[in-house]
Structure 1
Amino acid sequence: MEWLADINPIGAFVELDPILLLKALILGIVEGLTEFLPISSTGHLIIVGSLLGYTDEQSKVFKIVIQFGAILAVCWLYRERIVRVVRRMWSPTPERRFALNILIAFLPAMVLGVLFHDTIKTYLFNPLTVAGALIAGGLVILYIERRPPRVRFTEVDDIGWREALKVGFAQTIAMFPGVSRAGATIMGGLVFGLSRKAATELSFFLAIPTMLAATLYDIVKSRDLLALHDLPVFGVGFFAAFLAAMLSIKILLRYVSNHSFEVFAWYRIAFGLLVLATAYTGLVQW
């Protein structure tokens, strides 16, 4: 317990770095706004964090912790559905089928994430690989959106375990930073016959176990970097991510009812090209 001697609870909150808190606020907003949109929250955090010069060891843990804020936003917005599923999943009900589908969809990412976590973190977490993935993902979205729609499942409760597993494998593509977990699951859902609404809602629900497991796994592996004096910075980022994610989810649900995802594809392509252009010209040292 020697580390307790180094803790100054009052000083931890008095000696605050306003610049660091501002960076935490910006990154928290970025995380919340982008987590559930098909534009890659991880990619944006890597790029924006690099621009802000927030790339030290503390930043690595910070970017993990603020994901809890986005997870909490989904849980809060769908709290009634989640409670109903938990209560009824123990008997043969539609809620049990729904819970099993989420579990099945989660399994591919869980297995491959454990196997390739360290390799991905070591070699792929940099702005230039993210830029390439943003552009490639944007082109894929344009291709899928311009295919004739073949909707077989209008509601998320209609899908079977096969469709859930297919979307789960689609989600694993998002382990490459810049692809976007939301983008992979939503586009995968559209390819496998889900309506826009069903694919989007499935992406939200699948985010809960996937992000929770990934976040807890990262925290356990980075536990030596956790420090009490970082609590104010983490708190600002956490609540910023929570509020921004709430807004993002509500806007996306309204948007998908009458629009395609092409606007996100063009944004991804433009943003990725901007990053590559600034790197090529030397305007930004990524």
Structure 2
Amino acid sequence: MDIVELLKAALFGVVEGITEWLPISSTGHMILLDEFVTLNVSENFWNMFLVVIQLGAILAVCVLFIRDLLPFGFGKNAEERRSTWNLWGKIVLGCIPAAAIGIPLDDFMEEHLYNAWVVAAALVVYGIAFIVIESWRARRLASSVASGKALPGARPAGAHFAAPAPMAATESATGGDFGSISTLDELSWKTALGIGCFQVLSLIPGTSRSGSTIIGGLLLGCTRSVAAKFTFFLAIPVMFGASFLKLVKFFFKGGVFGTSELAILGVGCTVAFVVSLVAIKWLMGFVRRHDFKPFGVYRIVLGIAVLAYFILV
């Protein structure tokens, strides 16, 4: 067993664990990293690894939010259990658009879109989108501050994401996380489906699944915290479904797991799980105090750098 290949797998796990949850495109970063650090595996295994490594990341969501996701236990009463089942219904509904389009087009996208050029373009375009949307939200908040009106769901920076109480628009609100949907219980079925439609955009590598759904949530009235949390939950069926599909295709194309392949996949998933625990906690704290503009700037800079690299090389 080659220790160098395991170290490479661990590096991919670190990148996956960080970028899966930040709105900067995990698949895009994995494709870009592959340009410089290449696993010594077959193309069939690599295409499967690129997706299945996400299972480690999604297990971190299940661990961190187990109370929100399990309808039973944790002393939940009948109303809380019903609320949890409703949440799962909205999660499933939000996954339907991406599944309906992504499954039949999977092979086409893998063949034509999984390259550095598409990734770079998507990084720039959606980086600009983040900056534009957050600037629009800031103008709304500033306008309300000036008029003395209250914004629905506005809360001071640092407030807990579950706190639903509105806040009067004052100067202290300028860094707040606001929106008409400030808790998951307030998220309607229609809004969940709308966010799911935005998730379709993430089928283009470089877009970012979390980025597209967070943008959708913000445009549809969610606070940044609710948009981020619902994005985490949407990932559960999406990633399990995508991983299952890739594994089926891997074996259908004659792929087999040797000791080396199992070790590479195991290391990648394990590292992605551990890093994701840290990344998710950090992001939930970040969005309660800051907007998404820094991620937009990062995406634009990285996209331009990638384009310059491949033009000059």
Fold conserved between structures, TM > 0.5: yes
52, 55, 59: which one aligns with 1:72: 59
8 Å contact from structure 1 (residues 94, 157) kept in 2: yes
User: What's 1:245 paired with?
Assistant: 276
Q: Does 1:197 align with 2:184?
A: no
Q: Does 1:63 align with 2:55?
A: no
184, 189, 194: which one aligns with 1:156: 184
8 Å contact from structure 2 (residues 195, 216) kept in 1: yes
Task: Using structure 2 for the length normalisation, give the TM-score.
Answer: 0.81
User: What's 1:110 paired with?
Assistant: 99
User: What's 1:179 paired with?
Assistant: 207
User: What's 2:173 paired with?
Assistant: none
Deviation at 1:78, TM superposition (A): 0.9
User: What's 2:309 paired with?
Assistant: 278
Whole-angstrom distance in 2 between the partners of 1:118 and 1:89: 44
User: What's 2:135 paired with?
Assistant: 146
23, 26, 32: which one aligns with 2:8: 23
83, 106, 113: which one aligns with 2:70: 83
In structure 2, do the counterparts of structure 1 residues 104 and 273 end up closer, same or farther at CA, with 3 Å as the change threshold? Answer: same
SS of the aligned residue for 2:70 comes to: helix
8 Å contact from structure 1 (residues 90, 96) kept in 2: no
Deviation at 1:127, TM superposition (A): 1.0
**One-letter amino acid of the counterpart of residue 99, structure 1:** W
SS of the aligned residue for 1:147 comes to: helix
User: What's 1:122 paired with?
Assistant: 111
8 Å contact from structure 1 (residues 85, 99) kept in 2: no
Greater Cα offset, 144-153 or 263-272 = 144-153
Q: Which runs of 4+ in 1 moved over 3 A?
A: 85-92
Deviation at 1:60, TM superposition (A): 2.0
Q: Give unmatched runs, 5+ long, in structure 2.
A: 141-177
8 Å contact from structure 2 (residues 181, 221) kept in 1: yes
After superposition, the C-alpha distances for 1:234-264 in whole angstroms (9 at most, x for unaligned) are 1111111001111110000000001001111
Whole-angstrom distance in 1 between the partners of 2:78 and 2:120: 41
Deviation at 1:200, TM superposition (A): 0.6
Q: Give unmatched runs, 5+ long, in structure 1.
A: 1-15
Deviation at 1:226, TM superposition (A): 3.2
After superposition, the C-alpha distances for 1:102-155 in whole angstroms (9 at most, x for unaligned) are 111111011111121111111000111101110111011111111135711101
8 Å contact from structure 1 (residues 134, 272) kept in 2: yes
Deviation at 1:173, TM superposition (A): 0.3
Deviation at 1:215, TM superposition (A): 1.1
**One-letter amino acid of the counterpart of residue 160, structure 1:** S
In structure 2, do the counterparts of structure 1 residues 85 and 167 end up closer, same or farther at CA, with 3 Å as the change threshold? Answer: farther
User: What's 1:10 paired with?
Assistant: none
User: What's 2:29 paired with?
Assistant: 44
**One-letter amino acid of the counterpart of residue 190, structure 2:** R
Deviation at 1:37, TM superposition (A): 0.7
Deviation at 1:89, TM superposition (A): 9.6
User: What's 2:156 paired with?
Assistant: none
Percent sequence identity over aligned pairs: 36
Q: Does 1:227 align with 2:257?
A: yes
1:246-265 matched pairs, under 5 angstroms: 246-265=277-296
After superposition, the C-alpha distances for 1:159-179 in whole angstroms (9 at most, x for unaligned) are 111100100000000000000
8 Å contact from structure 1 (residues 69, 242) kept in 2: yes
User: What's 2:164 paired with?
Assistant: none
Whole-angstrom distance in 1 between the partners of 2:23 and 2:255: 30
Aligned length: 267
Deviation at 1:100, TM superposition (A): 1.4
In structure 2, do the counterparts of structure 1 residues 93 and 25 end up closer, same or farther at CA, with 3 Å as the change threshold? Answer: same
8 Å contact from structure 1 (residues 89, 96) kept in 2: no
